[in-house]
Amino acid sequence: MPAKLASARLLAGGDARPGPEARQLAGGGGVRGAPMNGGSRKQEVSLRSEQLLQQGPWRTPSTSSPMTSACLAWTAARPSACCYPQSASMPTTCHGLPGMEAWPCCCRPPLRPPTSMPCSAASSVRRTPTSCASMPWLRALPRRNIRRSWSTLQVSTPTWATTSPLVTPSLFPTCPRPRASVPLQEKLERVILGSKAAEQHPEEVRGLWQTCGELMFSLESRLRHLGLGKEGITTYFSGNCTMEDAKLAQDFLDSQNLSAYNTRLFKEVGQDGKPCYEVRLASVLSTEPILDSEMNSKLKSYEFQGSNFRVTRGDYAPILQKVVEHLEKAKAYAATSHQEQMLAQYIESFTHGSIEAHKKGSRFWIQDKGPIVESYIGFIESYRDPFGSRGEFEGFVAMVNKAMSAKFEWLVASAEQLLKELPWPPAFEKDKFLTPDFTSLDVLTFAGSGIPAGINIPNYDDLRQTEGFKNVSLGNVLAVAYATQREKLTFLEEEDKDLYIRWKGPSFDVQVGLHELLGHGSGKLFVQDEKGAFNFDQETVINPETGEQIQSWYRSGETWDSKFSTIASSYEECRAESVGLYLCLNPQVLGIFGFEGADAEDVVYVNWLNMVRAGLLALEFYTPEASSWRQAHMQARFVILRVLLEAGEGLVTVTPTTGSDGRPDAQVHLDRNKIRTVGKPALERFLRRLQVLKSTGDVAGGRALYEGYAAVTDAPPECFLSLRDTVLLRKEARKLIVQPNTRLKGSEVQLLEYEASAAGLIRSFSERFPEDGPELEEILTQLATADARFWKCPSETPSGQA
Ligand SMILES: [Zn+2]
């Protein structure tokens, strides 16, 4: 339907040449990644936006596929992964950004609005009245509190909107002054109960507040982070599950060849005193007698290692029903048969609860090379499962940035040659590098609890080893990360700051490209299949760390995630980040991205400096009380900082200082002359160890290595535990991304954009489901209520539960 296509291109910034209007939409006003309060950085970002605009998807005449309008239409009414009640906001997908805090925690709760930016082209914006004066119902509050409470409410709301209203770790988990949050809670309560919504629906609003108010602000240690048992809370597991339960369930799932990706685990104690576990699969169907042999045969009770297991399905059925309805509609606009088959398999997967069907869909997705509109949906990333094997429901729709994609394609073409540069023997590399699709995208919509800057999917190991994968860099998300103001740059030496600002963006393009393609894309797992055959030569392959033959490997059914479970995500991110740092030293790589001479050296220096600084900033994501890390990428960066510190010879130093305000501060120093002579050999040794332990499935060795570096202590000279307090003290306001919405008006797709503020973000969310919003709200409330008993405090636990 040509009319639809034309308008989709125009509204999404498409069509042959950007006129003045398109420029304004795509980059003008500093909306694409520029800080709200301007300055020279703003001009630079606008300039960059201009460059991106020239390269962007808008210069792709007659290449838009029918999927464009389908995806836009689908997005307009798609059920969002935000509906999936998990927990608090953290980056979920590779690649969380160094220095980009996604966790909404605040030492200083967000009393001042954050820098927030629209994700897409922006602002034909209707200005939203956000001042408290325009809110008559706020008059009930003491005047001096009004602005603070209103700002707090606005900044907190996006977090609520993307998280479970029922079981969510506290919003303020690292607040150093517990008392500070009490009055804040009271103020918010007054704002909420004084709202128009509460006036119109008093019982519902009061009920919702009673359900979540205490939990959100609770400083009870268990409610402060994701975890199992005493360590934390998660809605992937009933509140009474421990790490031992999770391990047992994983063994059970492996024994039945069931994937954990779309499951949750609920534990109750039977009348015989034996634990009884329900493995609940997410699906539209539950007990309907449908001819569906693959899944039906698995839906039954099992006795496993003295415990009872029952496999059921139908979790989140009403929400997945909506997903399926919209995927059906999208099928009509598929641009290729691969897209059509991919959608059919997703529908099959979500209807029946079959991960096998999702794998088949992902296979078609991999085969759909170079689409103009890219999308993916499903239970994808396992970062937020404390055990590391259950996937978060996510979906995105994005458009290709042709110019940057061309550089990535060149990198892909050079990949086989570059893989040889990695510091492990050829036997530890994949038998054949499966050339992936590697594109730079601008996100139209990313639904999930966080927006990554790059992704490398699918995550199914077997598919990755045999069929390949796709790499995606999300350009307009990266642009938000570039937007750093000089005066807010923490922990850098004065003379580094301008260089850092100038080269952070370009160096991060290089790092993300290498991380995704040659980081996650490299390395072989040694496997013995179900027939006993090995995928490596037991006689000749030698472990370079021990000089002996290979002693351990993956057995049939074992995967990286299932074997390395709790450290799998972070370890793998660390491997990928290390590959990025290591290969960015390669002149060929720098040439691909257009850097040579002094510029190339600056890109290398800033990339390494950024990693060192990120390793320090990472401490925000460490919880001393539980001795645990809350974010995979940040833990990985801390580990790399430790490795570089260990290299010695003055390569890296982290020094506690006193800031000009008289309060504690710190400074990182990287000696650029020692990157190649000291840093590279240290990273080389570390990378080889990481890969060898991964290839051989040596969990004990891997844990010892990784957890050793990840340990945070107050040992001199760095005293990281004390430095953590400084990191929290100097924390920047977090960055938010305001996502647009789309609407179908007749046959035309409209792009609705919002102002770069917390208010804009709330409006974007509240207008996302114009037709079925109330229905979705009802469904979510019912789903949450139905399971609420599984997360009651122990004293409230109904009898029969352990
Ligand atoms: Zn990654």
pLDDT at position 290 is 62
pLDDT in the model for residue 144: 46
CA of 411 to the centre of ligand 1 (A): 17
* Distance in angstroms (rounded) separating the CA atoms of residues 380 and 762: 26
Task: Residue 495: name the closest of 584, 586, 606, 351 by CA.
Answer: 606
Q: Dihedral (C-alpha) 444, 449, 453, 459: value to the nearest 10 degrees?
A: -100
Q: How far is the CA of 458 from the centre of ligand 1 (A)?
A: 12
Q: How far is the CA of 577 from the centre of ligand 1 (A)?
A: 7
Mean pLDDT for the stretch of residues 38-65 = 28
Centroid of ligand 1 to alpha carbon of 585 (angstroms): 19
Spell out the residues 6+ positions from residue 647 whose beta carbon is closer than 8 angstroms to its own: 678, 679, 681, 682
Share of the chain above pLDDT 90, in %: 51
Check 392, 429, 516, 753 and give the catalytic one.
Answer: 516
Integer Cα distance of 120 and 397 in angstroms: 12
Phi-psi region for residue 582, left (φ > 0), alpha (ψ -120 to 50) or beta?
alpha
H/E stretch holding 785 reads helix 773-787
Gap between the terminal Cα atoms of the chain: 58
SS3 801: coil
CA 245, CA 418: separation in Å to the nearest integer?
Answer: 43
The dihedral of CA 702, 705, 710, 712: what is its sign? positive
Owner of token pair 């007659």: 62
Q: Which of 82-91, 296-305, 347-356, 604-613 has the lowest mean pLDDT?
A: 82-91
Ligand 1 center to 81 CA (angstroms): 20
Burial 219-241 (b: 16+ CB within 10 A, else e): eebbbbbbbbbebbbbbbbbbbb
Q: How far is CA 298 from the centre of its chain?
A: 31
Q: Which residue has the higher pLDDT, 667 or 288?
A: 667
pLDDT of res. 800:
37
To the query of whether residue 495 is one of the catalytic residues in this protein, the response is no
Residue 763's identity, in one-letter code, is: R
Q: Which residue has better confidence, 29 or 693? A: 693
Residue 793's pLDDT is 57
Judge whether 163 and 765 are in contact, CB under 8 Å: no
Q: What is the pLDDT of residue 159?
A: 42
What pLDDT is attached to residue 149? Answer: 55
Q: In the 8-state DSSP scheme, what is residue 676?
A: I
pLDDT value at 125 more than 60: no
The alpha carbon of 515 and the centre of ligand 1 are apart by a number of angstroms equal to 6
Angle CA(22)–CA(25)–CA(31) in degrees, nearest 5? 145
CA 660 to chain centre: 35
CA of 455 to the centre of ligand 1 (A): 7
Q: Is the pLDDT of residue 736 over 90?
A: no
CA 632 – ligand 1 centroid, Å: 9
Give the Å distance between the CA of 386 and the centre of ligand 1: 18
Lowest-confidence region among 4-8, 293-297, 471-475:
4-8
In degrees rounded to 5, what are phi and psi of residue 588?
A: -65, -40
pTM (global) more than 0.75: no
**What per-residue confidence (pLDDT) applies to 46?**
30
Confidence of residue 734 (pLDDT cuts 50, 70, 90): confident
Query: For residue 497, what pLDDT is reported?
Result: 94
Alpha-carbon 63 to chain mean position: 30
